[in-house]
Amino acid sequence: ETHLDVAALRAAFPVLDQRVHDKPLVYLDNAATTQKPAAVIDAVANYYRHDNANVHRGVHVLSQRATEAYEGAREAVAGFINAEREYQIVFTRGTTEAINLVAQSYARPRLQPGDEILITEIEHHSNIVPWQLVCEATGATLRVARVNDAAEIDRDDFAAKLGERTRLVAIGHVSNAFGTIHPVNELIALAHRHNIPVLVDGAQATAHMPVDVRALNADFYVFSGHKLFGPTGIGVLYGRESLLEAMPPYQGGGDMIETVTLEGSTWNELPAKFEAGTPNIAGAIGLGAAIRFLADFDLDAIAAHEEQLRARVTAELAQIDGLRLIGTAGHKAAILSFVMGEAHPQDIATILDSAGVAIRAGHHCAMPGMARFGLEGTARASFAAYNDESDVDALLAGLRSAQRIFA
Ligand code: PMP
């Protein structure tokens, strides 16, 4: 097992080196967004400082540099998730836009009244609402696989709901609300036995474990740059070539066309077909830089490190009176969702904030998932590669003082 140099990794993130409320910052809101290493901040700044130009059509030097950097980022992303071809990487605004793209361009033209889309009940709203919209527009039905009390997918229920009319399965890789790592390999294999394509929402996976879209055999895999130490406003849709080829454009505009006449237009090739307008060039370059930064570290070692933190926090939380962990899956990421007696999650987060510890409170954009556990919200501490034992100490100390306050 490769060792992770957490101190070196942490030192690369300037924002972590500060005090809030006169306490050292302890950042445990990584499921909402991750911090950015200097390499990413510099890549974005350097692009604007030296190379800023529009991509693809310019003959001048700056446009060529911008294009090279933008397409270089695509190459980095393709390598990072082991895509077959670079053109299967479509840059989007984020996970949300990538899912909406698939909903509108893949699902919508194919759905007939009575057809079905299958999700789970602990999806992020961005993997629920786009399907509701497309079902409403087509008369299709959104079906929902249940989870057990540990927030693990009920495989029998999932299998039972995969049917003749299922046209697409959309599942999270890792639940942002409860940390569950779904057995996506197995679920994809099961769906494929019925010839049903699967979209995997990888927003919470890519920064925390190696992801190989070919090994998964995913038909679509989507994620956000900002949860992977990259900028906001940039994300990725990976798609199987045959599916992307068969899909109509999502938006019309510059760059996505081959020819335009006032009578009609023809479409550019992949991936340009899905990238209408001037893209988020700096964002893509920043994402590329984040991936190159991560290449210096071993993702298996990052996963092992986060697992060690998760195991310790889980054991210690069990010692805090009145604290109840929600989501106790056997296979889960370092995302810990909990409630404490009658205390409002917002109040727990406020007490922790005064101790310098940043966590999140609320429904985490997973209201149906919260409802499954009879809750409106939880407090959630979520870890990333740069978190260490001192962060765990600060979280636990903060929670113990919160517990004393509420007792
Ligand atoms: N899916 C999951 C599992 C997420 O955690 C998030 C972000 N919280 C999203 C989708 C949406 O990502 P974004 O807001 O970056 O589009």
Q: Check if 96 has its Cβ closer than 6 Å to any atom of ligand 1.
A: yes
- What is the dihedral angle through the alpha carbons of 316, 322, 327, 333, rounded to the nearest 10 degrees? -30
Query: Are the beta carbons of 56 and 278 closer than 8 angstroms?
Result: no
Atom of ligand 1 nearest to the CA of 126: 10
Q: Is 92 in the pocket of ligand 1 (CB under 6 A)?
A: no
**Å from CA of 91 to ligand 1 middle:** 15
What residues of the chain score a pLDDT lower than 50?
Answer: 1
State the pLDDT at residue 363. 97
Other CB atoms within 10 Å distance of the CB of residue 305: 25
What whole-number distance in Å separates Cα of residue 238 and Cα of residue 376? 33
Tell which residue, 392, 397, 386, has the closest CA to residue 305: 386
Ligand 1 atom 12: residue of nearest CA? 95
The answer, yes or no, to whether any atom of ligand 1 lies below 6 A from the CB of 224, is yes
pLDDT value at residue 58 = 82
Do the bridges between strand 198-201 and strand 220-224 make them parallel or antiparallel, or are there none, so unpaired?
A: parallel
pTM summary value: 0.98
Asked if 325 and 318 touch (Cβ cutoff 8 Å), the reply is yes
What integer pLDDT is reported at residue 57 of this predicted model? 81
Dihedrals phi, psi of 84, to nearest 5 degrees: -65, -50
Q: Is 94 in the pocket of ligand 1 (CB under 6 A)?
A: yes
Torsion of CA 251, 252, 255, 260, to 10 degrees: 160
* 101 C-beta closer than 6 A to ligand 1: no
Q: Identify which of 234, 290, 294, 244 has the alpha carbon closest to the alpha carbon of residue 267.
A: 244
* Gap from CA of 170 to ligand 1 centroid (Å): 14
Of 99, 227, 364, the residue with max ligand 1 atoms within 8 A of its CB, to mutate for a pocket test, comes to 227
Active site residue 135: no
Q: Does 88 contact ligand 1 (Cβ within 6 A)?
A: no
| Residues contacting 106, CB < 8 A, separation 6+ | 168, 197, 220, 243, 247
- In 3D, which of 207, 213, 250 has the Cα closest to residue 99? 250
Residue nearest to atom 14 of ligand 1 (CA): 96
User: What residues pair up with 358 in beta bridges, in sequence order?
Assistant: 27
Does 336 contact ligand 1 (Cβ within 6 A)? no
**Is any atom of ligand 1 closer than 6 Å to the C-beta of 378?**
no
> pLDDT value at position 2?
67
ipTM for this prediction: 0.98
Of 199, 204, 208, best ligand 1 pocket probe by most atoms within 8 Å of the beta carbon: 204
pLDDT at 379: 98
Nearest CA to ligand 1 atom 5: 176
Among residues 365, 366, 379, 402, the one annotated as catalytic is 365
Residue 3 has a pLDDT of 86
Ligand 1 midpoint to CA 52 (Å): 29
